[in-house]
Amino acid sequence: MLKTAVFPGSFDPITNGHLDIIQKAAQLFDKVIVAVGHNADKASMFSVEQRLEWIKQSCAHLPQVEVKSYTGLTIAFCQEQGAAFLIRGLRSGLDFEYEQSIAFANKEMNAQIETVFLLSSPSYSNISSTIVRDVIKHKGNYKAFVPAAVQF
The residue ranges of the chain whose pLDDT is under 70 are none
Q: Of 10, 58, 120, 129, which one is the catalytic site residue? A: 129
Tens-digit pLDDT profile for residues 105-127 = 999 999 999 999 999 999 999 99
Q: Of 42, 61, 138, 139, which one is the catalytic site residue? A: 42
The confidence score (pLDDT) of residue 43 equals 86
The confidence score (pLDDT) of residue 1 equals 75
68 is catalytic: no
CA 143 – CA 96 distance, rounded (Å): 27
Q: Of 10, 18, 31, 51, which one is the catalytic site residue? A: 18
3 is catalytic: no
107 is catalytic: no
120 is catalytic: no
The confidence score (pLDDT) of residue 74 equals 97
Fold of 4-150: Rossmann fold (3.40.50)
CA 47 – CA 107 distance, rounded (Å): 30
Q: Of 31, 58, 91, 120, which one is the catalytic site residue? A: 91
User: Is the N-terminal amide bond of 122 cis, ω within 30° of 0?
Assistant: no
Residue 104's contacts (CB-CB under 8 Å, 6 or more residues apart) are none
The confidence score (pLDDT) of residue 25 equals 98
Within 13 Å and on the Cβ side, how many CA atoms surround 133? 13
Using DSSP's 3-state secondary structure scheme, residue 65 falls into strand
